């Protein structure tokens, strides 16, 4: 008997998935108890009726101990008594079963053997399969919960980054005031302007993250949580129905072999046949209704050091970033739509197939259908979460910029390697390295850093031989002959829709060796030791300072004269591990070339900034030294 829509757990018992899971677990304990009951019964039957009385006593004690739990659940909200428990149809059937054991005093060996092979073993298999299914569903719920919390954390991280960028703006403003020489003033002013743009981008990211958090929150409480509760209810219904079939089968065996017990066993059959899962579930609902309200929406939180409003920044530079991000989000949404349609078709097919399969006491095809159905439902939920995030981004950006899409000729960037220094077409700093730390437009040849991609206006000049010039820089750097570009086309993986698109991708830089010890004298500088190998992030621009990444993963300025020349191979990526290790708690099959496959118990090392990759994905190295990303909720920190 299927649950009516208005009487489903998802509609009537909000935010009680874990309590419903405990009810399901109590039913599994009931199956275990009944299985143990039959095991004991077969042994006692071989010793004849003398032992049957003792068996019935033990069964009654077990029933008394756990009867309230499998009927009313843990900690019901309403008072109850013995009369309440007797309203449960499954409890009545259990009581009739125990009574039948008391009357079964003359069973023989053939019945004991039949019960052992056709009932006890089936119950054991059913218990194991249903327990595995329950674990899978609850693990999915916990992962969904963790995904919601991760989105909340991403929002908080974006807020922290916004605050930090606001502090940097103030710092550069003070530094600009103190600058004396003209060339230093120009450089500081340029840095201050860039920092302001970054601060505005961080603000926009914070607003977007807030909108995403609200959307994910609404989806969690209005879709994910009710679906999980209803799935547990459906699994509970199926479990009880199959349990009833097994009990009916066991008692039909006894009716065929024990004519002298037919009358009493027929009474047990009648009681078991009267089990109504929906009726028992309504009793559970009646005694477990609790008040519940949706959490409040997240709101924009301004920085305490920088006065601002909750309006999206639409100044020229941030607006270009918003237009590019809007174009990217819409592209991702278009790519995602057919995947969702395909997965929904598969899910609907499995749902209909599951409804047409009648529960029976053997374990087999129906359980495989349940596994496939749940896998499809889980993957579809992941895709819907991705769509929710993309729709939130699109809605938030469109609300800010309206129909102003900016340039109508977007660049078609692809990841590239740069074996010789190449000038970025946006910030004019050097791109250099073999590990694809930059991108090149396939149409006009414009080369930019990964971090500058979204800052470039969508004004690609497709004419042959033209030179791309960004609105921010007068001159651009077309791809040099030394650029080794690799365009990889592959089926979109789940991570390609949910990974963060705003944090800067990790880059590899030329490696040098420090000539002398240096201790920092300001917050912009970094400590290095003689002989230490560092990566040169930004070479000397004439100021006498170079920006480096030291062995501890910290970036900062050091005197350019302290950095050696040609001591180590340049342009060779260096494994930047943090030393922090994580262990895989679930297996994971990679679905893209940028992902790592996980095996349960495998230990990995996080890369520098690996936990900041974004949207539920971390980056690290496996035991073979291969670098890639993996779901953060599939691992635990050691």
CATH number at residue 545: 2.30.30.40
524 phi and psi angles, rounded to 5 deg: -90, -10
pLDDT in tens, 184-197: 677 778 888 888 88
At residue 575 the predicted structure's pLDDT band, cuts being 50, 70 and 90, is low
The pLDDT score that the predictor gives to residue 392 is 92
- Cα–Cα distance between 538 and 188 in angstroms, integer? 15
What order of strands is seen across the sheet that includes strand 617-621? 627-631, 617-621, 603-607, 577-584, 635-637
My answer on whether 128 and 262 are in the same domain is yes
Task: Flag whether pLDDT at 22 surpasses 80.
Answer: yes
Task: Flag whether pLDDT at 380 surpasses 80.
Answer: yes
Token readout for 189 is 């002013």
The pLDDT score that the predictor gives to residue 463 is 36
My answer on whether 131 and 260 are in the same domain is yes
Task: Flag whether pLDDT at 489 surpasses 60.
Answer: no
At residue 492 the predicted structure's pLDDT band, cuts being 50, 70 and 90, is low
* Structural domain range at position 53: 5-143+232-286
My answer on whether 265 and 133 are in the same domain is yes
Token readout for 484 is 């080794």
The pLDDT score that the predictor gives to residue 153 is 94
Average of per-residue pLDDT values in the chain: 81
What per-residue string of b and e applies to 330-359 under the rule 16 or more CB within 10 Å gives b?
A: bebbeebeebbeebeebbeebeeebeeeee
Q: Per mean pLDDT, which range of 139-148, 174-183, 499-508, 517-526 is the poorest?
A: 499-508
Give the three-class secondary structure for 421.
strand
- Name which residue leads in pLDDT, 590 or 205: 205
The pLDDT score that the predictor gives to residue 48 is 72
Task: Flag whether pLDDT at 513 surpasses 50.
Answer: yes
**Hey, CA dihedral for 235, 237, 238, 239, is it positive or negative?**
positive
Contacts 24+ apart (CB under 8 A), 569-572: 569/511, 570/432, 570/510, 570/511, 570/512, 571/419, 571/432, 571/433, 571/434, 571/510, 572/434, 572/508, 572/511
- Cα–Cα distance between 605 and 585 in angstroms, integer? 15
Q: Per mean pLDDT, which range of 111-115, 148-152, 217-221 is the poorest?
A: 111-115
The last residue of one of the domains, among 553, 570, 587, is 570
- Cα–Cα distance between 168 and 509 in angstroms, integer? 24
Query: Checking DSSP bridges between strand 430-441 and strand 447-449, what pairing results, if any?
Result: antiparallel
| Number of domains composing the chain | 4
The pLDDT score that the predictor gives to residue 495 is 54
- Cα–Cα distance between 635 and 583 in angstroms, integer? 5
The pLDDT score that the predictor gives to residue 434 is 55
At residue 179 the predicted structure's pLDDT band, cuts being 50, 70 and 90, is low
Compute CA distances 164 → 18, 198, 318, 500, whole Å.
Answer: 39, 10, 18, 19
In a domain, 588, yes or no: yes
At residue 157 the predicted structure's pLDDT band, cuts being 50, 70 and 90, is very high
In a domain, 36, yes or no: yes
In a domain, 69, yes or no: yes
Task: Flag whether pLDDT at 477 surpasses 80.
Answer: no
Q: What is the dihedral of CA 252, 253, 254, 256, to 10 degrees?
A: 80
In a domain, 517, yes or no: yes
My answer on whether 473 and 557 are in the same domain is no
My answer on whether 535 and 421 are in the same domain is no
Contact between residue 434 and residue 417 where contact means Cβ atoms under 8 Å apart: yes
My answer on whether 488 and 606 are in the same domain is no
The pLDDT score that the predictor gives to residue 432 is 73
My answer on whether 53 and 34 are in the same domain is yes
Q: Per mean pLDDT, which range of 201-205, 370-374, 385-389, 459-463 is the poorest?
A: 459-463
Task: Flag whether pLDDT at 312 surpasses 60.
Answer: yes
Contact between residue 610 and residue 619 where contact means Cβ atoms under 8 Å apart: yes
In a domain, 430, yes or no: yes
Maximum mean pLDDT: which of 62-76, 175-189, 530-544:
62-76
Token readout for 560 is 């350019």
| Average pLDDT value for residue range 151-172 | 90
- Cα–Cα distance between 150 and 146 in angstroms, integer? 6
My answer on whether 448 and 490 are in the same domain is yes
pLDDT in tens, 423-450: 888 888 888 765 556 888 888 888 888 8
My answer on whether 562 and 581 are in the same domain is no
| Average pLDDT value for residue range 250-272 | 82
- Name which residue leads in pLDDT, 331 or 48: 331
The pLDDT score that the predictor gives to residue 370 is 83
Contact between residue 117 and residue 42 where contact means Cβ atoms under 8 Å apart: no
Give the three-class secondary structure for 525.
strand
At residue 181 the predicted structure's pLDDT band, cuts being 50, 70 and 90, is low
The pLDDT score that the predictor gives to residue 487 is 34
The last residue of one of the domains, among 529, 554, 570, is 570
Contact between residue 517 and residue 495 where contact means Cβ atoms under 8 Å apart: no
The last residue of one of the domains, among 497, 522, 538, is 497
574 phi and psi angles, rounded to 5 deg: -110, 130
Q: Closest Cα to residue 262, out of 55, 121, 106, 119?
A: 106
Contact between residue 24 and residue 239 where contact means Cβ atoms under 8 Å apart: yes
Task: Flag whether pLDDT at 182 surpasses 70.
Answer: no
My answer on whether 133 and 250 are in the same domain is yes
Task: Flag whether pLDDT at 205 surpasses 50.
Answer: yes
For residue 479, the 8-state DSSP code is P
Task: Flag whether pLDDT at 395 surpasses 50.
Answer: yes
My answer on whether 9 and 115 are in the same domain is yes
What residue has token string 């004849």?
48
* Whole-number percent of the chain with pLDDT over 90: 11
* Whole-number percent of the chain with pLDDT over 70: 85
Token readout for 365 is 């095809």
My answer on whether 434 and 537 are in the same domain is no
The pLDDT score that the predictor gives to residue 183 is 63
| Average pLDDT value for residue range 473-486 | 34
The pLDDT score that the predictor gives to residue 208 is 93
At residue 508 the predicted structure's pLDDT band, cuts being 50, 70 and 90, is low
In a domain, 399, yes or no: no
| Average pLDDT value for residue range 551-580 | 68
Query: Greatest CA separation found in the chain?
Result: 111
In a domain, 429, yes or no: yes
Q: Closest Cα to residue 23, out of 337, 255, 351, 277?
A: 277
- Cα–Cα distance between 130 and 230 in angstroms, integer? 16
- Name which residue leads in pLDDT, 364 or 155: 155
| Average pLDDT value for residue range 47-53 | 77
Terminal Cα distance for the chain, rounded: 47
Task: Flag whether pLDDT at 490 surpasses 60.
Answer: no
In a domain, 218, yes or no: no
Total number of residues shown for the chain:
638
At residue 470 the predicted structure's pLDDT band, cuts being 50, 70 and 90, is very low
| Average pLDDT value for residue range 20-31 | 89
The pLDDT score that the predictor gives to residue 485 is 34
- Cα–Cα distance between 478 and 444 in angstroms, integer? 7
The pLDDT score that the predictor gives to residue 482 is 34
């Amino acid at each position: 008997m299927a649950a009516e829509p208005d009487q489903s757990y998802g509609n009537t018992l909000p935010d009680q998935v874990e309590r419903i899971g405990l009810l399901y677990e109590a039913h599994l304990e009931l199956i275990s108890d009944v299985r143990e009951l039959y095991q004991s019964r077969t042994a006692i039957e071989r010793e004849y009726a003398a032992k049957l009385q003792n068996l019935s006593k033990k069964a009654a004690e077990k029933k008394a101990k756990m009867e309230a739990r499998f009927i009313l659940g843990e900690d019901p909200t309403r008072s109850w008594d013995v009369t309440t428990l007797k309203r449960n149809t499954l409890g009545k059937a259990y009581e009739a079963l125990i009574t039948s054991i008391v009357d079964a005093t003359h069973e023989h060996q053939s019945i004991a053997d039949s019960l052992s092979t056709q009932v006890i073993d089936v119950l054991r298999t059913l218990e194991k399969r249903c327990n595995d299914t329950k674990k899978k569903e609850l693990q999915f719920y916990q992962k969904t919960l963790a995904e919601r919390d991760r989105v909340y954390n991403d929002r908080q991280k974006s807020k922290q980054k916004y605050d930090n960028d606001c502090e940097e703006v103030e710092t550069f403003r003070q530094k600009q005031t103190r600058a004396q020489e003209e060339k230093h003033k120009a450089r500081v002013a340029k840095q201050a302007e860039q920092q302001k743009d970054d601060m505005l981008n961080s603000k926009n990211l914070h607003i977007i993250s807030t909108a995403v958090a609200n959307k994910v929150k609404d989806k969690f409480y209005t879709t994910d949580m009710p679906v999980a509760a209803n799935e547990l209810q459906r699994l509970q219904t199926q479990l009880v129905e199959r349990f009833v079939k097994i009990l009916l089968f066991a008692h039909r065996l006894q009716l065929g072999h024990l004519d002298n017990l037919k009358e009493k066993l027929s009474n047990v059959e009648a009681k078991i046949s009267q089990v109504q899962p929906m009726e028992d579930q309504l009793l559970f609902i009646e005694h477990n209704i609790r008040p519940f309200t949706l959490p409040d929406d997240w709101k924009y939180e301004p920085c305490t050091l920088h006065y601002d409003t909750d309006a999206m920044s639409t100044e020229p530079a941030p607006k270009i970033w918003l237009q590019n991000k809007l174009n990217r989000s819409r592209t991702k949404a278009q790519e995602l739509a057919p995947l969702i349609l395909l997965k929904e078709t598969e899910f609907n097919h499995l749902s209909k197939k599951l409804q047409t399969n009648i529960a029976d006491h053997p374990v087999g095809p129906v359980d495989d259908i349940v596994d496939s159905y749940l896998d499809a439902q889980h993957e579809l939920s992941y895709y819907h979460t991705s769509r929710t995030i993309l729709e939130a981004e699109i809605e938030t950006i469109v609300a800010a910029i309206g129909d102003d899409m900016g340039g109508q000729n977007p660049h078609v960037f692809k990841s590239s390697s740069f074996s010789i220094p190449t000038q970025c077409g946006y910030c004019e700093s050097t791109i250099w390295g073999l590990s694809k730390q930059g991108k090149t437009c396939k149409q006009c040849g414009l080369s930019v850093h990964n971090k500058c991609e979204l800052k470039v206006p969508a004004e690609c000049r497709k004419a042959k031989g033209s030179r791309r010039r960004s609105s921010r820089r007068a001159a651009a750097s077309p791809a040099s002959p030394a650029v080794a570009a690799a365009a990889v086309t592959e089926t979109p993986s789940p991570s390609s829709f949910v990974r963060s698109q705003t944090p800067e991708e990790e880059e590899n830089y030329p490696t040098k060796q420090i000539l002398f010890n240096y201790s920092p004298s300001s917050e912009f500088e970094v400590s290095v030791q003689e002989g230490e190998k560092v990566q040169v992030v930004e070479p000397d621009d004439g100021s006498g300072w170079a920006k480096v990444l030291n062995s501890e993963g910290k970036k900062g300025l050091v005197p350019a004269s302290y950095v050696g020349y040609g001591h180590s191979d340049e342009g060779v990526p260096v494994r930047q591990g943090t030393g922090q290790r994580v262990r895989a708690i679930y297996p994971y099959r990679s679905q893209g070339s940028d992902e790592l496959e996980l095996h349960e118990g495998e230990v990995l090392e996080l890369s520098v900034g690996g936990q900041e990759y974004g949207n539920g994905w971390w980056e690290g190295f496996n035991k073979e030294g291969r670098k890639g990303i993996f779901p953060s909720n599939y691992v635990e920190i050691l």
